[in-house]
Amino acid sequence: MKPSVEVLPDKAALIERSLVVVVERLESAIAARGQCTIALSGGGTPRPLYEALAQQPLPWDKVHVFWGDERYVPADHPDSNEGMARQAWLDHVPLPPENIHPMPTDEADPAVAAAKHAAQLQDFFGTAPGEFPQFDVILLGIGDDGHTASLFPHTQALQVCDRLVTVGNKDGQPRITFTVPLLNCARSVVFMVAGASKQAALDHIFAPTDDDNLYPARLVRPQQECLWLLDSAAGAKLSHEVA
Ligand code: 6PG
């Protein structure tokens, strides 16, 4: 399905719009299937969204929270995506602890942690080996370099298409990340992109042809919804129609 792009006047409007979009999709998933699954992105952009979600009257026992990627640090480390989401949101709502599914980062070998989390996902979704589960919502951001999740330019992780979870590599630092095919199975992928520093990457990402290995967010082409929410600083000068 062709991605859709919304350019919002500023970051506050981007956060407000992402809140409406996410709540709508979680509520419709609960209505349809009795529960919903959301995979969170890290970094700085989504934090205000997580703080806003903490104020929503959602049926928290029906919400399951995952992460699309994680830095290879303990949850109490300042770089932890899990820690950020817990501080901004999850510690402030009555979400049953068993509904929170963090990526393990306590194995000596990150590849073991990635395989462990893939097995946890398979177990939760009841999928067979080789089958990719459908998350209701996967939130993503992009770096100035065009990475998304922990799929960094010219890394091995970009080529992994037979597993749900793999090891990412940022400047030699290990990450755990959903793979491209898992991202592309989502019912709804929502990119949240703010700031002028993202303009150049967005131009390459939306160009009809460009280097997918150099701009990994180009690889995210879900069969279902792909919604790009940009603030005007990031998206006002987009020179391409969305590819
Ligand atoms: C991470 C993220 C990463 C993030 C981008 C954008 O673990 O850092 O998942 O993919 O979304 O780097 O980060 P900002 O929102 O801070 O610009």
> How does pLDDT run across 165-217, given as a tens digit for each residue?
999 999 999 999 999 999 999 999 999 999 999 999 999 999 999 999 999 99
Question: What is the number of domains present in the chain?
Answer: 1
What's the pLDDT at 50? 98
Q: What is the pLDDT of residue 145?
A: 98
Within a domain: 135: yes
66 within domain boundaries: yes
Give one DSSP letter per residue of 190-206, joined into a string. Answer: EEEE-SGGGHHHHHHHH
- Torsion, Cα 174 180 186 192, to 10 degrees, reads 60
Q: What spacing in Å lies between the alpha carbon of 147 and ligand 1's midpoint?
A: 8
CATH number of the domain bearing residue 49: 3.40.50.1360
Residue-wise burial string across 152-188, b where 16 or more C-beta atoms lie within 10 A, e elsewhere: beebebbebeebbbbbbbbeeebbbbbbbebbbbbbb
Instruction: Tell how far the Cα of 41 is from the centroid of ligand 1, in angstroms.
Output: 7
Q: Rounded mean pLDDT of 33-45?
A: 98
Given ligand 1 and candidates 15, 18, 40, 41, which is best to mutate, with the most ligand atoms within 8 Å of its CB? 41
* Residues in contact with ligand 1 (CB, 6 Å cut-off): 41-45, 69, 81, 141-143, 147-150
Q: Is residue 128 part of a domain?
A: yes
Mean pLDDT for all residues in the chain: 97
Task: Tell me, yes or no, whether 190 lies in a domain.
Answer: no
Task: State which residues form the domain around 102.
Answer: 4-184+198-237
Band the pLDDT of 243: cuts 50, 70, 90. Answer: very low
**Tally: H helices and E strands in the chain:** 7, 9
Does 17 map to a domain? yes
Q: Is residue 125 part of a domain?
A: yes
**Ligand 1 atom having least distance to the Cα of 41:** 9
Q: Is residue 172 part of a domain?
A: yes
* Distance from residue 43's CA to the centre of ligand 1 (Å): 4
**Protein residue closest via CA to atom 2 of ligand 1:** 42
If one residue of 14, 15, 45, 151 were mutated to test the ligand 1 pocket, choosing by the most ligand atoms within 8 A of its CB, it would be: 45
pLDDT at 240: 65
The pTM of the full predicted model, rounded to 2 decimals, is 0.97
Q: Is residue 109 part of a domain?
A: yes
Helix (H, G, I), strand (E, B) or coil at 239: coil
pLDDT band at 13 (very low <50, low <70, confident <90, very high): very high
For 51-64, the pLDDT digits (tens) are: 999 999 999 999 99
